[in-house]
Structure 1
Amino acid sequence: MPRPPAPALSMTAAQREVLIRIARSSTTAHREVMRAQVLLDAADGIANAEIARRHRVSIPTVRAWRAAFTSDGLTGWGTVKKGRGRKPVISEATIAEIVELTTHTTPPGATHWSCRTMAKRVGVSPATVQRVWSELGLKPHLVETFKVSNDPRFTEKLIDVVGLYLDPPEKAIVLCMDEKSSVQALDRTQASLPIKPGRAATMTHDYKRNGTTNLFAALDVLTGTVIGRCLPRHRHEEFLTFLKTIDAEVPQGLQIHLILDNYSTHKHADVKAWLKRHQRFHLHVIPTSSSWLNQVERWFRELTDKNLRRGIFASVPDLIASIQAYIDASNADPQPYKWTATAESILAKVTRARTTLNQQAS
């Protein structure tokens, strides 16, 4: 008789938060990262056999890790196992105290713990605190920004966009479109020095503003190529101009599915009238506060890192030429982004986030 599927692993919000940090850590031992990923999948209700297949471990290993977590929680993490070698000098209770203080409290008069303040509070060395934090992926000196969408049509819009990523329609092109507004042409007040052995390249901390441009870009989800155009302003007239650019560059036999945000210029009467005359355009609006769902945002980030942040532009035409050169180089060797997250997995994470926020507010 087949074994019944195991129930979802029960864990607190704080435990999940710690395990997520471990699973994302680039310094924690690979086995511990894998163990954290297995436990997170188990908490999501995924079957043991599927977890074992995903992470290339045995089913008995999955069961053993589940049982150990159910029995001890996070108590055994970050300690040296019994056997040969130096025995651990920090008790499991002290590790649990460090985790509890780090994740749920702050020191007097400060916003976060440091190794020294935590060491003084718990009565261990700063090196011990650092070792525990490193093993568990805890980084109290860092903070990440987030915003959970309150869009009443969040689920509907999410399913629509993710569906295009995972199962694009035939005889169609899927484009992620957005505007990078007010890109500044910045020049430095003094000449920069080039890189040389023993010294990094240098540039002055202050700069001179030489005007701005607005970059309209549409990323082809399938190929990774980009249609881009710099325009002087950021109004519905410029949006229409860019739509016409897309219409001219995409072969006439293809339908155009355009993923974009809910900016007011996208809903202007003139835009709606133009779209009505061009029936092959289909707009798919992402939920509010969900720019992460638009893949072109990742391309914008790479443009900033590789071209704009350290660029020196004496004029707006210089800036536009540099952006166009980056687009041409990117299109010469396009690298599409691989989308793997399903709508169901995203909705589960958003639900947990909303539950946690409600608990914090109550």
Structure 2
Amino acid sequence: MEMVLDVYKRPFDPRNPVVCMDESPKQLIAETRIPIPCSTGKPEKYDYEYKRNGMCNIFLACEPLTGKRMVKITERKTKRDWAYFLEEIEVQHENADKITLVMDNLNTHIPGSLYETFPPPKAKALWDRFEFVYTPKHGSWLNMAEIELNVLTGQCLKRRMDNIEFVRKEVLAWQNYRNNKNSKVKWQFTTDDARIKLSRLYPTIED
């Protein structure tokens, strides 16, 4: 936890950007009856019944100090999907010396995923471009990308969306809107706060 909080204290450095990454599933849901649009004095009406059209996955990477984020919608969240998303993050920061990537301990978030996706020289070159910083187990709330995912859900995805192409279109519009506003996460939780508010997590040392 303190390692992650120390990363968040770093000043902005374009040669060593801090990027937070997270992912989340999205259920694809279709209407079974045509909704009745809203009219003067009357709200929109839709039936409680719906049809399940499968799932898709949302990858999100954000750079807290610049207010930029990148979202990719995939059909699955396999090791290869994560590796290809990592490649896109690297392209976005091609002028950086090293990219610090904050993420959780999911079993796909490992260097081995790169070797299962790319030839060894490319996998090693991509691995060397990153410094992986993992949030602790049961501590995914320390990842600022999770906050961005919550904003994405509240502003864009909290409705019935029946196919992956529609999700991609709407998420791209949201991404451009947030990036144009340079919307940032105001992170205020520090190591000193952690040692006070989460004192139960620290061992007790007796004299």
CA distance in 2, matches of 1:169, 1:283: 18
Counterparts of residues 1-362 of structure 1 (less than 5 Å):
158-168=1-11, 170=13, 171-181=15-25, 183-267=26-110, 269-271=112-114, 276-278=124-126, 279-313=128-162, 315-352=163-200
Question: Secondary structure at the residue paired with 1:172?
Answer: coil
Tell whether the 8 Å contact from 1:259 to 1:294 is kept in structure 2 after alignment.
yes
Structure 2: gaps (5+ residues): none
CA distance in 1, matches of 2:18, 2:176: 20
* CA 1:303–1:270: 2 relative to 1, 3 Å: closer
TM-score for both structures, normalised by structure 1: 0.50
CA distance in 2, matches of 1:325, 1:192: 23
Q: Considering only aligned residues, what root-mean-square deviation do their CA atoms show, in Å?
A: 2.3
CA distance in 1, matches of 2:166, 2:95: 33
Structure 1: gaps (5+ residues): 1-157, 356-362
Hey, which of these two has a bigger chunk of helix by percent? 1
CA distance in 2, matches of 1:180, 1:168: 29
Relative contact order: is structure 1 or structure 2 higher (C-alpha 8 Å, sep ≥ 6)? 2
| CA displacement 1:78-124 (0-9 Å, x = unmatched) | xxxxxxxxxxxxxxxxxxxxxxxxxxxxxxxxxxxxxxxxxxxxxxx
Matched residue type, 1:179: E
CA distance in 2, matches of 1:246, 1:319: 21
Tell whether the 8 Å contact from 2:12 to 2:65 is kept in structure 1 after alignment.
no
- CA-CA distance at 1:282 after TM superposition: 0.6
CA distance in 2, matches of 1:352, 1:212: 39
CA distance in 2, matches of 1:246, 1:285: 17
- CA-CA distance at 1:164 after TM superposition: 1.6
Tell whether the 8 Å contact from 1:166 to 1:339 is kept in structure 2 after alignment.
no
Tell whether the 8 Å contact from 1:211 to 1:316 is kept in structure 2 after alignment.
no
CA distance in 2, matches of 1:296, 1:350: 22
Hey, which of these two has a bigger chunk of strand by percent? 2
* CA 1:337–1:321: 2 relative to 1, 3 Å: same
Tell whether the 8 Å contact from 2:69 to 2:179 is kept in structure 1 after alignment.
yes
Tell whether the 8 Å contact from 1:175 to 1:218 is kept in structure 2 after alignment.
yes
Matched residue type, 2:137: T
Question: Secondary structure at the residue paired with 2:17?
Answer: strand
Tell whether the 8 Å contact from 2:17 to 2:96 is kept in structure 1 after alignment.
no
Matched residue type, 2:19: L
CA distance in 1, matches of 2:66, 2:38: 35
- CA-CA distance at 1:245 after TM superposition: 0.7
- CA-CA distance at 1:190 after TM superposition: 1.6
Aligned to 1:71: none
* CA 1:253–1:176: 2 relative to 1, 3 Å: closer
Return the index of the structure with the highest Cα Rg: 1
CA distance in 1, matches of 2:148, 2:177: 13
* CA 1:311–1:332: 2 relative to 1, 3 Å: farther
TM-score for both structures, normalised by structure 2: 0.84
CA distance in 1, matches of 2:89, 2:154: 26
Question: Secondary structure at the residue paired with 2:18?
Answer: strand
Question: Secondary structure at the residue paired with 1:177?
Answer: strand
Matched residue type, 1:173: P
- CA-CA distance at 1:254 after TM superposition: 4.2
- CA-CA distance at 1:212 after TM superposition: 2.0
